[in-house]
Amino acid sequence: MTIQSREQCEQLDREDALAHLKQEFALPEGVIYLDGNSLGARPKAAASRAAEVIQQEWGTDLITSWNKAGWFDLPSRLGNLLSPLIGAEANEVVVTDTTSGNLFKALAAALHMQAGDDQRKVIITERSNFPTDIYMAEGLTGWLQRGYRIHLIDSPEELSTAINAETAVVMLTHVNYRTGYLHDMQTVTALAHQHGALMLWDLAHSAGAVPVNLNAANADFAVGCTYKYLNGGPGSPAFIWVPARHQAKFRHPLSGWWGHASPFAMSPHFEHQPTIRAALCGTQPIVSLALVECGLEIFAKTDMQALRKKSLALTDLFIALVEQRCAGFGLELVTPRDHVQRGSQVSLHHPHAYALIQALIARGVVGDYREPGILRFGFTPLYVGFADVWDAAEHLRDLLASQSYDLNLKRNAVT
């Protein structure tokens, strides 16, 4: 169906079985929020949950809350709530620390598992990967000083030739933060395994955005973020997945007391515990951690198949509207057109991308800018509707047609 009018979009919204989920979120009036891939919107429940943790659990119950309110167990409990979204089994995920920190642990563990083979010294990743993943790999391998090399490929097509008997680990972000390109998890994992390499996935732009089945793909390790599509709150702790089959041999250098086999025995030597809790290190930020549950509770009201169907309908619509109604203004589609290669975002290139994003934000259409020259729009089916997509595209068309954006505006240091 070709969409020609806002009325048709409104009709799609009326027919949308997920439309009621928007009520779970506290979004400001008049804002079309297409930046849930950077910071997810606030679940309404987050305010009362924070008040409960702060007033009752911290203020009144004080130290007893480590047991009584389950604070100590929270990383595991949240991990188990998150598991179904990524195809993990129970007791394979904890929510803890940062994505960067968790990637360090997973990569270290993977290299440790490969240490018996002196020929396997190469970590393969993409130059276009989110930079912190590459930085953490540089940090780890630079310090180990054992001849590890990071091989940056420039296109997913290179994977089939790049992976070989020298590859220790293939470390990829499932959905690219900039382009929205979606890797085929099953195929790439199988390719890595075929050559004896281990497969580490960063799900920062996948968890809650696209269906993921880590165990079906037989992946080796995964990490990801809870503050984007999972709506856990600003900078909410990240997650790490270690499949049951690898837990006994999961070793990393961040061996803090929360990962100890008997954390409260206060023994002066570290003792590994063969569970997912070996991925824990220090004491967790409980208030931020507790809010992750509010986002996960909303996912429990639907499923990733339904969300994926709507996500593709939204991104299809946006691409179509941009191509039909914003043609001739220099926009280029960066995100793959093919569904099997597309995450839950649409990225467009334009020479004045930064100025355009600022002008859109001023009109209440919140997307973001990414270097170089990318307008990035995240489509979160939990709270974005079809009329929102129409309106966003119309604002973009109007800005381009009227040239009512600041041609001289340059990106400042921090945005």
Known binding-site residues for pyridoxal 5'-phosphate equal 99-100, 130-133, 173, 202, 205, 227, 257, 283
Give SS3 for 105: helix
Query: 297-336 mask for a second copy (x: CB under 8 A)?
Result: ----------------------------------------
Which residue from 15, 118, 143, 147 is in contact with a second copy, where contact means CB under 8 A? 143
C-alpha distances out from residue 182 to 62, 123, 178, 287, Å: 45, 20, 11, 33
Q: Which of 206, 132, 203, 122 is nearest to 164 (CA)?
A: 122
366 is a site residue for a second copy (CB under 8 A):
yes
Q: Which of 35, 202, 368, 388 is catalytic?
A: 202
Question: Of 367-386, which residues contact a second copy (CB under 8 A)?
Answer: 368, 370-371
Let me know: does 373 contact 351? Beta carbons within 8 Å: yes
Q: Which range touches a second copy (CB under 8 A), out of 84-92, 158-166, 235-243, 332-340?
A: 235-243
Query: Which residues lie below 8 Å from residue 224, measured CB to CB, with a gap of 6+?
Result: 86, 99, 202, 203, 204, 206, 207, 238, 239, 241
410 is a site residue for a second copy (CB under 8 A):
no
DSSP secondary structure, 249-291, as one string: G---S---GGGBSSGGG--SS--B-SSGGGG--S---HHHHHH
Q: Which of 25, 33, 72, 227 is catalytic?
A: 227
289 is a site residue for a second copy (CB under 8 A):
yes
273 is a site residue for a second copy (CB under 8 A):
no
Radius of gyration of the chain (CA): 22
CA 376 to chain centre: 15
Q: Which is nearer to a second copy, 1 or 413 (CB)?
A: 413
The 10 Å Cβ neighbour count of residue 251 is 15
Question: Of 96-125, which residues contact a second copy (CB under 8 A)?
Answer: 97-101, 104, 108
Q: Which is nearer to a second copy, 352 or 370 (CB)?
A: 370
Binding residues for a second copy, total number by CB under 8 A: 95
Query: Which residues lie below 8 Å from residue 178, measured CB to CB, with a gap of 6+?
Result: 128, 334, 347, 370, 374, 376
Q: Which of 42, 178, 325, 376 is catalytic?
A: 376
Q: Which is nearer to a second copy, 376 or 397 (CB)?
A: 376
275 is a site residue for a second copy (CB under 8 A):
no
388 is a site residue for a second copy (CB under 8 A):
no
Q: Which residues are catalytic?
A: 130, 202, 227-228, 376
